Structure 1
Amino acid sequence: MTRTEIWLIRHGETDWNAEQRLQGWRDIPLNDVGKAQALSVQRYLEQQRIDFDAVLSSDLQRAIQTAQIAFEPYGYQVEQLSMLRERNYGIYEGQPWQQLIPLPDRQAPTINLRDPQTEIPEGESLPVFYQRIIRAFNQIAQDRPQQKLAVVAHGGVIDMVWRHIKNIDLTSQRPYKIMNASVNHFRITTQQWEEVAWAQTDHIEMANEGL
């Protein structure tokens, strides 16, 4: 049975993250907090002593910068893949995300981006995004059997992978927050996707204490 081991890492914080604005395909760089978080991933990697075969990244600069900082001591060439981008929010990019999703303490928004039936002008619906991400990782596993890979991507990407592993539908509430610079380890085999260690954040908390 072939398998591919993947450590899926969310990029560090950007100003738009801090402002709670939808980024999507907008190419926003890391801020100083995000760079410190990327360094915390570097320290995590030093402790884990994982011998990666390759480092892959979304082609958006917040992911690329995180990968470059985290893996700088190891000399990896970061491979950029557009298929690992965040969901394309089209005309809603740049808007405050809390106005575009339902929250328990207020009325439903005019448009609900978490509704799989919602079409996004100039962007991706939730099912289209889900299908893109699952295809991307299946293709990566097919192309790189028996490899250990670091993949730096986005919160939405991690959410889609988590739902696929757990067989959870797109409408169910996720019970945890996806932290910037969190690390998520899973494997893809010829039979299934399997979680190994999810939502690892201890390294981020230690970095925040030093800020």
Structure 2
Amino acid sequence: MERLLVLVRHGQSDWNLKNLFTGWKDPDLTEQGVAEAVEAGKKLKDLKLSFDIAFTSDLTRAQHTLALILEQLGQTGLETLKDQALNERDYGDLTGMNKDEAREKFGEEQVHVWRRSFDVPPPGGESLKMTAERVLPYYHAEILPRVLGGERVIVAAHGNSLRSLVMELEGLTPEQILKRELATGAPIVYRLKEDGSIDSVQDLTD
């Protein structure tokens, strides 16, 4: 039985381009982001992959990425479940702020702590630990059972919600996951064993 799980971070968004903390705000993809999503679809098509169900967040940039991928695969009508559990980390008071301006206002060291510590949230926002605490229960309840049941699953989401899944799947420590960068529009193809552990992994980052 094939147990296929593909994770893909959305393509570049307008706020990525402008170097803004995005979080739960809802900008769409840039032209580059659209191209990245189309390329992701082509890479999956080259591997002759298709899917039985898709999961995505409640945010446009992830949904648009997924739609462009599925278009490349000829699967535009695929059943798709959308949930806030897969949303990007909430950056709280930093949301909408330019990252360089945030460093000027709060100091380089403080902004680095908010961005790169595992369990220190920015004011009014979420740490990566808090993000994982909403992503992982959803994964175990809704996504993993589908994969273990033999369905081929694709998840289009965000840098930090996907970091939570990568940390779980690959058994990484908080220190290791903080160093893990997920490129925009770059699928990671996991094949799982019957206990949910990894059988093989293929990172399609250029």
User: Do they fold alike, i.e. is TM over 0.5?
Assistant: yes
Give the Cα separation in 1 of the matches to 2:123 and 2:156: 27
Give the Cα separation in 1 of the matches to 2:50 and 2:177: 35
The answer to whether the 8 A contact 1:12-1:66 is kept is yes
Give the Cα separation in 2 of the matches to 1:153 and 1:78: 13
- The residue number in structure 1 matching 2:70 is 71
- Match runs of 1:120-135 below 5 Å: 120-135=122-137
- The residue number in structure 2 matching 1:85 is 87
Give the Cα separation in 2 of the matches to 1:98 and 1:161: 29
Aligned-pair identity (%): 23
- Match runs of 1:106-185 below 5 Å: 108-109=109-110, 112-113=113-114, 114-139=116-141, 140-143=143-146, 145-172=149-176, 174-185=178-189
TM-score by length of 1: 0.80
The verdict on how the C-alpha distance between 1:60 and 1:195 changes in structure 2, with shifts beyond 3 A counting, is farther
- The residue number in structure 2 matching 1:95 is 97
| SS of 1:112 mapped into structure 2 | helix
Return the structure number with greater helix share. Answer: 2
How far residue 175 of structure 1 moved from its aligned partner, in angstroms, is: 4.9
TM-score by length of 2: 0.82
Aligned residues: 197
CA RMSD between the two structures: 2.7
Name which of structure 1's ranges 32-41 and 109-118 shifts more when overlaid on structure 2: 109-118
| SS of 2:113 mapped into structure 1 | coil
Give the Cα separation in 1 of the matches to 2:53 and 2:24: 24
- The answer on 1:41 being equivalent to 2:19 is no
Give the Cα separation in 2 of the matches to 1:8 and 1:172: 18
How far residue 173 of structure 1 moved from its aligned partner, in angstroms, is: 6.3
Cα-to-partner distance string for 1:38-90 (whole Å, 9 max, x where unaligned):
11122112212223111221120000111111112323243212211111111
Give the Cα separation in 2 of the matches to 1:85 and 1:195: 27
The answer for unaligned runs of 5 or more in structure 1 is: 203-211
The answer to whether the 8 A contact 2:167-2:177 is kept is no
The verdict on how the C-alpha distance between 1:199 and 1:176 changes in structure 2, with shifts beyond 3 A counting, is farther
How far residue 158 of structure 1 moved from its aligned partner, in angstroms, is: 2.3
How far residue 8 of structure 1 moved from its aligned partner, in angstroms, is: 0.5
| SS of 2:137 mapped into structure 1 | helix
Give the Cα separation in 2 of the matches to 1:43 and 1:138: 29
The answer for unaligned runs of 5 or more in structure 2 is: none
How far residue 135 of structure 1 moved from its aligned partner, in angstroms, is: 1.5
The verdict on how the C-alpha distance between 1:201 and 1:172 changes in structure 2, with shifts beyond 3 A counting, is closer
- The residue number in structure 1 matching 2:203 is 199
How far residue 125 of structure 1 moved from its aligned partner, in angstroms, is: 2.6
The answer to whether the 8 A contact 2:128-2:160 is kept is no
Give the Cα separation in 1 of the matches to 2:133 and 2:70: 29
